Amino acid sequence: MKDLLWLVPLFPLLGAMVNGLIGHRRGWSHHASARVALAGAGLALLAGLGAIADWATTVGTHSVHVNRVFTWIPAGLATTADGLLADVTVEFALRLDALSAVMLFFVTFVGFLIHVYSVGYMHGESAPAFARYFAYLNLFMFAMLTLILGANLLVLFVGWEGVGLCSYLLIGFYFEKDWCAAAGKKAFIVNRIGDFGFLLAIFWAIKVFGTVDIATMQALLAAEPAKYASAVTPIALLLFVGAVGKSAQLPLYVWLPDAMAGPTPVSALIHAATMVTAGVYMVARCNFIYAAAPEAMLVVAIVGGVTALFAATIGVAQNDIKKVLAYSTVSQLGYMFLAAGSGAFAAAIFHVFTHAFFKACLFLGAGSVIHACGGEQDMRKMGGLKKYMPVTYWTFMVATLALAGIPIFAGFFSKDEILAKVFAAGTGNLHGYGSIYLALWGMAVVGAFITAFYMFRAVYMTFHGEYRGAPEAAHHGGGHGKEGREAELASAERGGHGGAFVPAGGEERHDAPPHQTEHHLHESPPSMIWPLRILGVGSVLAGLVGVSKVMTFHLVDLNWFEHFLHGVAPAVEVAHHPSLAVEWALIVLSVGVALAGIALARSFYYGPQAFTKPQRLAQRLPALYRAVANKYYVDELYEAIIVRPLVALARFTWKGIDTVAIDGTLNASAFFTEIAGDVLRFVQTGNVRNYALMVLLGAVAAALWLLV
């Protein structure tokens, strides 16, 4: 079975081709398209589980299994940087080891659940659009699995570009709306900037190592670290540029909030659970390069830590429920990079793993809420949904607790692991940058407080209090047809342009008396509820695979996750670990700040006095509030320093170079030819005797020239 690893990406690819090339054109029914897509994702899950089971039982979980499919690029001999000849042959090879097994498991599992959920969520679409959606979704699964299983950087890059393409296609799924198409383009272009760095890293690796195969590079680097010492830092930094683009870190995070223009299940699958974690995965995959490049690790940690805090503060003032989750994703990805930059690659992947469950659950819960509210995404127009949609409420609550880092929920174990490792890197003075790591740890703790605050703010605004929606929105909620989708688009459009801290205004509550609208609110259909339930359970249990030794007082070792990954992603250890008492103090502190964040959110957004305190705070600090609500004007900054000059440059090359220089030269030569013709045409008199005279004169001139 492990030798049939290539079947894992093949099934979704076949599903995408059948739906995209046949189903979409023939106008297959929703049932037929859904069946094909679910088969593609489901068979990938089964094949993946089979391959993992076979690999784990026959060769063991500490081994690396490589499945060579075919020779892709037999480039032949090339001279490397040190003047040696290397045989640069790129195999299309898939690699199964502990790291890719973890990713393979949760990507196929969460991906399959989101396929199921999409069947319910997207059923209002027309049949061709439905088939198109599932073709993209299956194609994404193919690309993501190629990315995960790639045994060398080039195969990984194929998947990397593939997920970017699918992300673009799915963000712009409602391409008839200009702003959806623009969001898709923004995502693609920003990602391309990162991909350029990744490509340069691959070229550099070929130049230095003469290969792109991960195992070979690792062996070469392990054999002669001194020889490659000067090359690893730039390679690591360029790889990280790619990761920054894909995983939405500062300064390239701006595409992810806009990516919420896509259908909500897409936000859950691609822009929360799987694709955006590809950057973290890639850094963990290349951990041997980073381990040899302390400065690159520091850069990774700083970018991650700053992003974690920065994005969390923006999340505080967002009113669009999906935007809150988007900034939370950016922030959590920051934590993952912070862990990777502190040398705790296993902790980073652990957070990727738990995050996939609870963030997918949150997004799908948000989708369920949006579905019920007839496409409304503005939390100011929600409220009181707890009693109408209990399953959505409880699963959303569980996932929120997981994200906030409350004990026994999944996020607690992984986030605490990260905080502990960063603190250890600080006190242990990792690579001599201890004080910087300590500062980053402080930022991460503050970020944890803000995370708990904004997530519970979302819960209270959405599920507690009284329903504040407009009657017509709730009316559409009854029929999940095209109108619902239109409303979702319209709402997201309004929400897209910043917003206020506070409800849209008291008067709306009087305009929409709850008793008129409440009976339209409803729980979502089973195909949406069951994925929520399963992911909710995952949000509780996923963390239990990686209970750190500190929490068990070193009595028993339950940190299976780290041991599982130890062979392929060993941590960069510091000499001195904090004592058990200090570690416990850290755990108490991180739980304490999470609880404090929840308490603050409760005092702000819960009960009869809800919304008055934040309103007063916003009035007292108008400048700060405006900056946060407008996302620190980063989009405006990009607009001013990059987009506008680029547009001006494009206009110059169009109006200046193309129109004036190129067209001008061409038109001028045509103009002078015309003028010359206008003058010279008078020579043609049409009178034969004139021609005869000219022949004579010519003959005389020729004779004179010959004689004289």
Partner 1 sequence: MITITHYLALSLVLFTLGVVGMVIRRNFITLLMCVELIINGATINFIAYARHLGDVTGQVFAVFLITIAAAEAAIGLGIIVALVRLKQTVQLDQANVMRG
Is residue 707 within the footprint of partner 1 (CB under 8 A)?
A: no
Among 689, 704, 706, 708, binds partner 1 (CB under 8 A): 689
Is residue 673 within the footprint of partner 1 (CB under 8 A)?
A: no
Is residue 555 within the footprint of partner 1 (CB under 8 A)?
A: no
Alpha helices in 342-433 (DSSP H): 345-372, 390-404, 410-427
Among 21, 650, 693, 703, binds partner 1 (CB under 8 A): 693
Using a 10 angstrom Cβ sphere, with 0-12 exposed, 13-18 middle and 19 or more buried, the burial of residue 198 is: buried
User: Given its phi and psi angles, is residue 78 left (phi above 0), alpha (psi -120 to 50 degrees) or beta?
Assistant: beta
- In three-state secondary structure terms, 152 is strand
**How far lies 478's CA from each of 184, 247, 255, 454, 508, in Å?**
30, 37, 33, 30, 21
The least distance separating partner 1 from the CB of residue 695, rounded to whole angstroms, comes to 9
Residue range at the interface with partner 1 (CB under 8 A); choices 57-65, 346-354, 612-620, 680-688: 680-688
Among 683, 704, 707, 708, binds partner 1 (CB under 8 A): 683
Identity of residue 67: N
Is residue 620 within the footprint of partner 1 (CB under 8 A)?
A: no
Helix (H) or strand (E) holding 94: strand 85-96
Among 84, 575, 688, 708, binds partner 1 (CB under 8 A): 688
The least distance separating partner 1 from the CB of residue 703, rounded to whole angstroms, comes to 12
What is the pattern of x (binds partner 1, CB under 8 A) and - over residues 626-665? ----------------------------------------
- In three-state secondary structure terms, 86 is strand
Is residue 623 within the footprint of partner 1 (CB under 8 A)?
A: no
Question: How many angstroms from the chain centroid is the CA of residue 291?
Answer: 25
Among 681, 704, 706, 708, binds partner 1 (CB under 8 A): 681
Is residue 696 within the footprint of partner 1 (CB under 8 A)?
A: yes
The least distance separating partner 1 from the CB of residue 690, rounded to whole angstroms, comes to 9
Angle 286-288-294 (CA atoms, 0-180°, nearest 5)? 105
Query: Which of 682, 705 has the CB closer to partner 1?
Result: 682
The least distance separating partner 1 from the CB of residue 692, rounded to whole angstroms, comes to 5
Is residue 686 within the footprint of partner 1 (CB under 8 A)?
A: yes
Residue range at the interface with partner 1 (CB under 8 A); choices 232-240, 387-395, 403-411, 677-685: 677-685
Using a 10 angstrom Cβ sphere, with 0-12 exposed, 13-18 middle and 19 or more buried, the burial of residue 635 is: middle
Query: Which of 666, 693 has the CB closer to partner 1?
Result: 693
Among 70, 510, 555, 687, binds partner 1 (CB under 8 A): 687
Closest CA to 170 of 129, 203, 199: 129
The least distance separating partner 1 from the CB of residue 686, rounded to whole angstroms, comes to 3
Is residue 706 within the footprint of partner 1 (CB under 8 A)?
A: no
**Farthest-apart Cα atoms in the chain, separation:** 121
Query: Which of 75, 696 has the CB closer to partner 1?
Result: 696
The least distance separating partner 1 from the CB of residue 697, rounded to whole angstroms, comes to 10
The least distance separating partner 1 from the CB of residue 667, rounded to whole angstroms, comes to 24
What is the pattern of x (binds partner 1, CB under 8 A) and - over residues 10-29? --------------------
Q: Say if residues 252 and 245 touch (Cβ distance below 8 Å).
A: yes
Query: Which of 581, 680 has the CB closer to partner 1?
Result: 680
Binding residues for partner 1, rule CB under 8 A, total 13
Among 685, 698, 701, 703, binds partner 1 (CB under 8 A): 685
Separation between Cα atoms, residue 411 and residue 353, nearest integer Å: 10
Query: Which of 580, 696 has the CB closer to partner 1?
Result: 696
The least distance separating partner 1 from the CB of residue 694, rounded to whole angstroms, comes to 10
Residue range at the interface with partner 1 (CB under 8 A); choices 173-181, 305-313, 582-590, 683-691: 683-691
The least distance separating partner 1 from the CB of residue 661, rounded to whole angstroms, comes to 34
Using a 10 angstrom Cβ sphere, with 0-12 exposed, 13-18 middle and 19 or more buried, the burial of residue 304 is: buried
Is residue 702 within the footprint of partner 1 (CB under 8 A)?
A: no
Is residue 704 within the footprint of partner 1 (CB under 8 A)?
A: no
**76 φ, ψ (degrees, to nearest 5):** 85, -160
Q: Say if residues 349 and 280 touch (Cβ distance below 8 Å).
A: yes
CB count, 10 Å around CB of 680? 9
Query: Which of 575, 679 has the CB closer to partner 1?
Result: 679
Write b or e for each residue in 236-270: b if 16 or more Cβ atoms lie within 10 A of its Cβ, otherwise e: bbbbbbbbbbbbbbbebbbbbbbbbbbbbbbbbbb
Residue range at the interface with partner 1 (CB under 8 A); choices 15-23, 572-580, 622-630, 690-698: 690-698
Spatial CB neighbours of 632, under 8 Å, sequence gap ≥ 6: 310, 314
Residue range at the interface with partner 1 (CB under 8 A); choices 38-46, 89-97, 488-496, 685-693: 685-693
Q: Say if residues 369 and 312 touch (Cβ distance below 8 Å).
A: no
Is residue 676 within the footprint of partner 1 (CB under 8 A)?
A: no
Among 692, 701, 702, 703, binds partner 1 (CB under 8 A): 692
> Between residue 144 and residue 173, which ones bind partner 1 under the rule CB under 8 A?
none
Query: Which of 29, 685 has the CB closer to partner 1?
Result: 685
Please, what is the angle between helix 278-285 and helix 321-341, to 10°?
Answer: 10
**How far lies 417's CA from each of 31, 336, 429, 541, in Å?**
44, 11, 18, 16
Q: Say if residues 52 and 96 touch (Cβ distance below 8 Å).
A: yes
Identity of residue 307: T
Is residue 682 within the footprint of partner 1 (CB under 8 A)?
A: yes
Q: Say if residues 547 and 559 touch (Cβ distance below 8 Å).
A: yes
Is residue 70 within the footprint of partner 1 (CB under 8 A)?
A: no
Is residue 126 within the footprint of partner 1 (CB under 8 A)?
A: no
Is residue 703 within the footprint of partner 1 (CB under 8 A)?
A: no
Interface contacts to partner 1, rule CB under 8 A = 680-689, 692-693, 696
